[in-house]
Amino acid sequence: MNFTSTKPKVYFKTFGCRTNVFDTQVMMSNLKDFEITQNENEANVVVINSCTVTNSADTTARGYINSLNKLPNKPRVVFTGCGVWTKGETLFKEDKVDSLFGHSEKENINELLKNEERFFNAGDLEHIDETIVEEFVGKSRAFIKIQEGCDFRCSYCIIPYVRGDARSYSEDKILEQVTTLAANGFGEFILTGTNVGSYGKKQHTSLAKLLKKMSLIKGVRRIRMGSIEPIQIDDEFREIINEPFMAKHLHIALQHTSKKMLEIMNRRNKVLKDLELFEFLKDNGYALGTDFIVGHPGETEELWKEAIENLHRFPLTHVHAFTYSKRDGTPSATMKEQVKGDIAKIRYNELVSIIDEKNYNFRKNNKTTLEVLIEQEKNGKYLGLDQHFNQIEIQSSADLVGDWVFIENYEAKEKVNVAKF
């Protein structure tokens, strides 16, 4: 690579969760001797921020790596993210990638990319970033990473083994991050991490305390959270749910609604307590989403019927559903009583259909004014998300991108709300 006055161009390919989106932004913020490109055909270097939550996530990353051979510049391929700890060594030995580095090394990306030799630097699983991100390329909402790692050991999950145990970012650093982004025009903030609800552990603080301090920063208008566990919504958190800065939507990880399946999955939540919590939040005007794994080993027809019966009782409006995908290295991967793929797919479709109907009814019956941040214009319509995390399409003669608008009259269609402004 020739380091002249023309900076080499770097293209970032991000797979997986919101935490990876933030991690990519950290890397972008630390590039000094390179130019970021949004066009992979121009790239001299492609950095892949990988996901490894399932075997299929690994397969997707490998497929993308193979596709890079067709690019005109034949870029260097640099691999990072969670996949470094599961498939990195294999990819490196097979010469599928030129270099690899782990999460803890991402702030050193500028020097790492300047090294033209092949390298494998996995780093450690104890690191906490110091970078203050000033911008989110192509985003109208800001992602704020508040913690890393997870102390839970769900039987199907590899993530604690590739991101480490739970550890929190310092409150001062988070507030500095939010202040910087708010000053740069961001009004909506999404708190992200491996296990967001564990924030503050061993630091004599909590998620609720952090939220209250964030809300006092000038420019902060709405705060959302990534997935949290039912047991993490404690009395202190319940006290702030009706504060005006709180988005009226929470994503609470159930993973299943059968008592026996929760035991098999080594989950800490209980169905009846979960239902009580969801009813409480619904009564306070919340839309409620969840994660749900269908077809996990041991999910008999009897347990599935129990789960569906319970699911109908939950006031859910959104679901991030998965058909179980084997993840090598986890206890679930060696469990017997595997569920056939065609059966899992049928169950998946049944689940999604139920939640789609619940979401449609929620939108039809909602009487509150929608507060919408317009994110983009597409095909002549302005698209944004309201406080309930429902998308709305708005017809308008004005340019609304980046604006906050209040919608009192709208039509709830099957998949989306529509309105004129």
SS3 per-residue string spanning 365-416: HCCCCEEEEEEEEECCEEEEECCCCCEEEEECCCCCCCCEEEECCCEECCCC
- For position 133, what pLDDT does the model report? 81
Q: How far apart are CA 421 and CA 407, in angstroms?
A: 8
> What does the block give as tokens for 188?
């909506």
- For position 134, what pLDDT does the model report? 78
> What does the block give as tokens for 235?
């009395």
Q: How far apart are CA 75 and CA 34, in angstroms?
A: 14
Do residues 282 and 318 touch, judged by C-beta distance below 8 A? no
- For position 2, what pLDDT does the model report? 46
Q: Is the pTM of this model over 0.85?
A: yes
The pairing of strands 318-323 and 287-294 is: parallel
Q: How far apart are CA 309 and CA 109, in angstroms?
A: 50
Q: How far apart are CA 291 and CA 15, in angstroms?
A: 18
Of the candidates 55, 14, 59, 337, the one whose C-alpha atom is nearest the C-alpha of residue 192 is 14
Return all residues near 132 (Cβ < 8 A) that are at least 6 apart: 29, 173, 176, 177, 180
Of the candidates 107, 56, 59, 116, the one whose C-alpha atom is nearest the C-alpha of residue 80 is 107
Torsion of CA 76, 80, 85, 90, to 10 degrees: -20
Do residues 215 and 243 touch, judged by C-beta distance below 8 A? yes
187 CB neighbour count, 10 Å cutoff: 16
Q: Which residues of 271-308 are buried (b: 16+ CB within 10 A; e: fewer)?
A: beebbebbeebbeeebbbbbebbbbbbbbeeebbebbe
Which stretches of the chain score pLDDT less than 70?
Answer: 1-5, 137-138
- For position 354, what pLDDT does the model report? 98
Of the candidates 92, 1, 108, 8, the one whose C-alpha atom is nearest the C-alpha of residue 50 is 92
- pLDDT tens-digit map of 206-233: 999 999 999 999 999 999 998 999 999 9
N- to C-terminal Cα separation, the chain: 52
Burial class (CB in 10 A: 0-12, 13-18, 19+), 253: buried
44 CB neighbour count, 10 Å cutoff: 20
Burial class (CB in 10 A: 0-12, 13-18, 19+), 380: exposed
- For position 242, what pLDDT does the model report? 97
Q: How far apart are CA 198 and CA 146, in angstroms?
A: 10
